A and B are shown apart, each in its own frame.
Chain A
Amino acid sequence: MTPTLTISRLTKRFQSVEALKSVSLALEPGRRAALLGHNGAGKSTMMKIVLGLIPFDSGDVSVCGMAPGSSAARTQVAYLPENVAFHPALTGEEQLRHYLALRGESPKLAIELLARVGLGHAARRRIGTYSKGMRQRVGLAQTLIGRPRLLVLDEPTSGLDPVSRRDFYDLLDGLAAEGTAILLSSHVLTEVEARTDRILILSGGELVAEGTLADLRTRAALPVAFSVRPAPGHAPALAATFPEGVQGEDGLLRLRGSQSEKLPLLARIAALGSAVADLDVIPPSLEDIYSHFSRRDGQ
């Protein structure tokens, strides 16, 4: 399948700072990719280049086979900026009618679009009176105009409550099923895990990791943690059995082991029988995996 978005060896400099260093990626129709990274890692810069808002220094970017920012490319791409803003004097409906007209669609669809993001009741109120979450939903509504082949969403769920977030990802699933490629950035790792096909981690302008979460988990090979609660009176014996463990003030014994050591370690603990009151196995969290990749290059 021809990728909707292709980026190869993209480099962008701001004076002396290298914002993007030789980044390459391809996004096929219907795929949802999440872009993760610290503030200043280059996420927004990359998105703005894909949209043609800022020029780049070297490399190639192709959006639906066209140059980014060309008028042909702009008809195929929809964007939701971080902290999206609108003129406060216009109502939600008027703002969407304007955007619909700019995309050559019928302005009559405005109310229907607002209803899709749960703003039907506020359509005739001025955007100046909206909450941040409501403005964000106007921003989402305008990305649904027409049938974009590529959606670029910068922190799309910031300011949304958990229920709206779920509704929003349901909308994305629908679009992806129709073949829209989606590139989004987020800080909320749990929702990214459940609702995207691929994770891209940017760090210091470099693409340091790319793949499904399972891929990244395997590649990171982070240690598994065990938290063992000794039966009353057995704490010293337990500590003697596992000299590598750390005895906490709460009475819990903490152990760490690599993925391959996990089962042998479990067997040793189980062999202690009644000396162990309870046991928790704590896999590396998404945050751990993310930190592992994003800090790898001396950060």
Chain B
Amino acid sequence: MNRILATAVSEFRIAFRNRWVSIATGMMVLFALVLAAAGSAPTGDVGVDRLSVTVASLTSLAVYLVPLLALLMSFDAVAGEVERGTLPLLLTYPVSRLQILLGKLLAHLAILGLAVTLGYGAAALAAVWFDPGATEGLGALWRLIWSSVLLGATFLGTGYALSALARRPSGAAGLAIALWLAAVVLYDLALLALIVTDGGGAFTTQALPVALLANPADAFRVFNLSAAQAVSAAGGLGGAAGTIPLWQSAASLLLWPLAAIALAAAAFRKVTP
């Protein structure tokens, strides 16, 4: 445990000096405030508090931004050590490869947690400022924060795995961007296209829920929207969330980080310094 903590402290320091902490926090706060301002207009008579509506908007933001931040922080984790030449010495220390990865994960999760808490917090403050009744939505906000951290853990883990597979930072960066595009953007576009051609047939009722649960970003969106019963407020794929039981999306959200870390550990084990 001490070795994991020591690694995490060093990694946090490095990320802080490389401005990652300020970049991640700044990005989250900026986007959250923009969303809070833009989302404030049509809410007056929806019958839900203002914060719950903000959380629904923030969910759509987090689906894109959290995986992006996680991949940007993680793609250098193994490939960077290989390129700098710091890996051989590190691996002669009495620390396991899994401990090294967990240390990095702890530091990156702390940064991500800080960024989403401050970002969502800023949007929440704005919501409560205009609508004192918005404090009813605090539960939804808290749920969004911890589920964002879990979503981040999944993409951090896959980022480490790509980093170990690529061995070079440039290659790892390319793979990370490709993964983000595929998992967060193209996957949903493909599902939408299938729904349209299917016209409410077997695909929409049978395969779609599974497809949504299989993608951690979609599982995250489904979980937050159905938990907040804000399905109606969300357009697009979010509308399908109503058909998926809450425990299933929660399970997907919890299992994905474990699978990603296992994948990263397996890929890192194959790296010969």
Contact = CB atoms under 8 A, between A and B. Distances in A.
Nearest to A86: B86
A77 B88 CA distance: 13
Interface in A55-84: 71, 74-75, 77-81, 83-84
Given A89-B14, A104-B2, A54 B272 contact: yes
B46 interface: no
B86 A103 contact: no
Contacts, number: 73
B202 interface: no
A86 B9 CA distance: 15
A98 B18 contact: no
Contacts of B14: 87, 89-90
A123 interface: no
A141 to B, nearest CB: 12
A35 B10 CA distance: 34
Contacts of A81: 85, 88-89
A51 B91 CA distance: 9
Given A54-B272, A104-B2, A94 B10 contact: yes
B85 A85 contact: yes
Contact of A83 (B85, B91, B92): B85
B94 interface: yes
B91 A87 contact: no
Given A53-B88, A74-B92, A94 B3 contact: no
Contacts of A99: 93
B273 interface: yes
Contacts of A75: 94
B84 interface: yes
Give the interface residue-count category, chain B.
Answer: 20 to 34
Nearest to A146: B94
Q: Is the interface of B mostly helix, strand, loop or mixed?
A: helix
A101 B3 contact: yes
Nearest to A50: B92
Given A53-B91, A54-B272, A86-B86, A98 B96 contact: no
A230 B118 CA distance: 90
A25 interface: no
Contacts of B85: 81, 83-85
Interface residues of A, number: 33
B95 A102 contact: yes
A53 B273 CA distance: 7
A48 interface: yes
A53 B95 contact: no
B18 A89 contact: yes
A102 B94 contact: yes
Contacts of B93: 74, 99, 102-103
Contacts of A87: 10, 14, 84, 86
Interface string B1-40: 0110111011001100110000000000000000000000
A53 B6 contact: no
Contact of B7 (A74, A98, A139): A98
A143 B124 CA distance: 51
Contacts of B6: 97-98, 101-102, 107
Interface string B237-273: 0000000000000000000000000000000000011
A101 B2 contact: yes
A78 B94 CA distance: 10
Interface in B77-123: 84-86, 88-89, 91-96
Contacts of B13: 89-90, 94
A86 B144 CA distance: 38
A74 B88 contact: no
Nearest to A83: B85
Contacts of A95: 10
B111 to A, nearest CB: 14
Given A53-B272, A74-B92, A85-B89, 20 more contacts: A53-B88, A71-B96, A79-B89, A81-B88, A84-B85, A86-B86, A87-B10, A90-B10, A94-B10, A98-B9, A101-B2, A101-B5, A102-B3, A102-B6, A102-B93, A102-B94, A103-B93, A104-B94, A107-B6, A126-B17
The 10 closest A-B pairs by CB, nearest first: A101-B6, A85-B85, A89-B17, A79-B92, A74-B94, A102-B93, A98-B10, A75-B94, A89-B14, A51-B92
23 contacts: A48-B88, A48-B273, A53-B91, A74-B94, A75-B94, A79-B92, A81-B85, A81-B88, A84-B89, A85-B89, A86-B86, A87-B14, A89-B18, A90-B10, A94-B13, A97-B6, A98-B9, A98-B10, A102-B93, A102-B94, A107-B6, A126-B17, A142-B89
